[in-house]
Amino acid sequence: MSRLLLILFVPFAAVPLAAAPVPKHLFPKDPPLYYPTKVGTKWVYSEDGIERTLVVEAVERGHGGLAVTVATVDGGGRVAHEKVVVSPGGLARLVTEEGQRELLRVPHEKGDTWDYAIGSPELLLAVLTATAAGEENVTVPAGKFVAARVDYELTTPVPQEQKSRWTCWYALGVGLVKMEYDGKVFRALKSFTPGKD
């Protein structure tokens, strides 16, 4: 390369150019999640003939994402609590003794499978296998959703091997919109109210 070309090229190569601003829609500040993370969010489900209400009570950072505490109230007024860990990588139910049970993996790639044991190494109670089945259009009383479908199979080895199957559909920003157990609708979303900032 001639000296003139070196003189012309080197200064431009050494000076960093100002990057053009990246459009916000390409890299959103908050990635889309398959579960709401605002306190006060409320779901109302029809569950096997009973109306069940879930409400987000708290959100905290931890366990590799946002740990969302959800209170569940059924038609009889009974209250239960659970924690769902929400991250760009999916959803998991937090089970203190056993760690996390992965409900949904993101990216949701059809055919992807994962499993985990329920129980202890000394006493295996069951094995849950989950299979990503792609996105589907789902209609429930709350409306129409594009939802990621996951098929689950639970195998219990004792006293004799038994299998049970259910399917869940998860919508972006909403979470579970429908659940079928052994081919019958068990839970369907009736209404969804997002929490306020």
**Residue 108 belongs to a domain:** yes
Confidence of residue 89 (pLDDT cuts 50, 70, 90): very high
**Residue 119 belongs to a domain:** yes
**Residue 180 belongs to a domain:** yes
Residue 97 structural domain: 32-193
The pTM of the full predicted model, rounded to 2 decimals, is 0.80
**Residue 20 belongs to a domain:** no
Cis-peptide into 23, omega within 30 deg? no
What are 36-64's pLDDT values in tens digits?
999 999 999 999 888 999 999 999 998 88
Distances (CA, A) of 10 to 6, 14, 18, 77, 183: 6, 6, 17, 74, 68
What are 15-32's pLDDT values in tens digits?
233 333 434 443 345 678
CATH, residue 188 = 2.40.360.20
pLDDT of residue 18: 34
**Residue 21 belongs to a domain:** no
Confidence of residue 95 (pLDDT cuts 50, 70, 90): confident
What are 124-167's pLDDT values in tens digits?
788 889 999 999 999 999 999 999 999 999 998 877 788 899 99
Domain count, the chain: 1
**Residue 133 belongs to a domain:** yes
